[in-house]
Amino acid sequence: MGEIEGRRCGAFGQQDGSARWRVWAPNARRVDLVLIRPDGRRDVRPMRAEPHRGTNAGHFHHTEPDVPDGRRYAYRLDGGEDRPDPCSLWQPDGVPGPSAVYRPGRFRWTDGGWNGVSREDLVIYELHVGTFTPEGTFEAVIPRLPALKELGVTAIEIMPVNQFPGSRNWGYDGVLPYAAQNTYGGPQALQKLVDGCHAAGLAAILDVVYNHVGPEGNYLGDFGPYFTDKYRTPWGKAVNYDDRGSDGVRDWVLDNARMWLGEFHFDGLRLDAVHAIYDLGARHVLRSIRQVADEVEAATGRAIHVIAESDQNDPRILQPPGRGGYGMDAQWSDDFHHAVHSYLTGETRGYYSDYGEARQVAQALRTPFLFAWDYSPHRGRKHGSPPEGLGGDRFVVCIQNHDQVGNRAKGDRISTLVRDPAKQRLAASLMLLSPYLPLLFMGEEYGETRSFPFFCSFHGEQLIQAVREGRKREFADFLGNGETVPDPAAVETFESAKLSWSWPEGTVHGGLRRMYRDLLAARRGWPAMRDFVNRTARLVGEEGAGGVVELVRGTDAGASAGQLRAYFNLAARAAPLPSPTGPSEKVLFSSESSGYCGTRKKLADVKELLPFECIAIGPDEWKPLG
């Protein structure tokens, strides 16, 4: 085991009880540390400017004796207003209140024997802390972890928890990326959650936002050149990764990644919208983030995963640096979701206008990029590049996620969009039998019908109104007749997103969850399901009639010989089974099994596919489901 490089800036508690503060503030000539007593009185301490030039220019530091955890402090730049620490770990009073000293090294971890989860074993469960439980806290998640483990999940992916204004937010409006949201329980409670994940046998992945900073309570520009006018993102100014003064900004981001992976023991990071991270320098910041992950992995012995979200269908994200890539472990593949969603719901508005054909469902099982330098009518240009030489375990697919649910007029889920439970079971079967890494959005495993609309709790009325109007404009393509966008600032909108966490036995919800559990067990037990390279997929029959998609995974050669054949009926009427069971084969699974609240009573002698049914066939020795 090696040593993990520490943070360069922030408040650092020393073993003798003292604390040392260091801040990067090249925009200021003078920086004062403001220590706030419990009674509110303020003690002002001048910070010493460090004499270095170049990368180290603009740093100030100060050491103070006898500083307990929880001591509030702020920085005062050139005699101006008090500002929270850009590297604050704790904001007990929220934004824009003072920061507080926190010593993460004092936490007593119990995960000494934890080595993580290998990439090919990842089954990711995306959750939002504020709506996953009635309490909406880090610690309230812990009692639910055993149920996720029993389901077959191997990793939770927590939507961003960096400090945001107010108490309600998806997390993508955070302004202090080092601080764990105070209303969720703060940094110590987050450490407890990660430790609890490892105790339950689950990896913990954190969604981080390195492409923009939220609009309210953002004081970073007072300190230094954190942003650049060279580029624009959909959310405002871009983070400065390649313009003048960007060295300090890059350090700030890389130290943040190192802190979450090292000091907070996260097993991976999901990088939000990397297509909005602009860096034309010779060493892209994404590659530097991967290097940080490699260093933590080498020092701890834990498997560390960096997963990128991108809508560019660009294989460079995954390719190694030697081939001009960024070396990410995996990336989200939107095409799979869009192909399945558009076909089963019939939606063809907005970006769904590129999808909706049955052949694309088959194609999405064959390749993660449906557009690989192909013409996209929605974009009006060619899009993507072929993902040559990349296995299926480098791509994360879903039938729901926070974006695809929340970025709708009402935040409605697939369970309310398709209505027919058979369609929902078919969609889940396509994802869970696919040759990719599955991501479940919280509640989908039992067909949660409660919505997940966008919500926030900004303080400024002008900003709130701008968000309201912006949501209406942004998703106008997805509004039906008479539909309106729920008020993002209303408490009721937030409350409507909280999970019911209910799947009574004998109901469609209970049957769906059982099917998810069985198929996730099959991903572990059927050898072909661990083969992410050998697969074929094709559409059988006439596309106009819906047709049947045939997926074949695995190979008849080698130690793990055995092929899985899965057939997906995309039509609302029965269809002949294209290829019946052969010698030494049997039907292993039906999405319409009565055990899943379908109508099929037995798996023997199957000759036709029921409407929207999936049938899987494999060797006799493989364990059947249902």
8 A C-beta contact, residue 442 and residue 207: no
- Annotated catalytic residue: which of 157, 173, 207, 309? 309
- Annotated catalytic residue: which of 64, 173, 272, 279? 272
- The secondary structure of 576-601 as a DSSP string is E-SS---TTEEEEEETTBGGGT-SB-
Encoding tokens for residue 509?
A: 């919800």
DSSP H helices in 448-564: 461-474, 491-495, 508-525
- On the CB side of 381, how many CA atoms lie within 13 Å of its CA? 5
Cβ neighbours of 41 (radius 10 Å): 8
8 A C-beta contact, residue 431 and residue 474: no
3-state SS assignment for residue 522? helix
Separation CA 494–CA 453 (nearest Å): 8
Cβ density class 525-545: b for 16+ within 10 Å, e for less: ebbbbbbbebbebbbbbeeee
Supply the angle between the helices 421-432 and 334-345 in degrees, to the nearest 10. 160
Separation CA 533–CA 516 (nearest Å): 23
Separation CA 261–CA 179 (nearest Å): 14
Catalytic annotation present for 608: no
Catalytic annotation present for 150: no
8 A C-beta contact, residue 258 and residue 296: yes
- Residue 468: C-alpha distances to residues 362, 462, 486, 487, 492 (Å): 38, 10, 9, 7, 15
- Residue 357: C-alpha distances to residues 341, 347, 544, 545 (Å): 11, 11, 9, 11
Q: Report the catalytic residues.
A: 272, 309
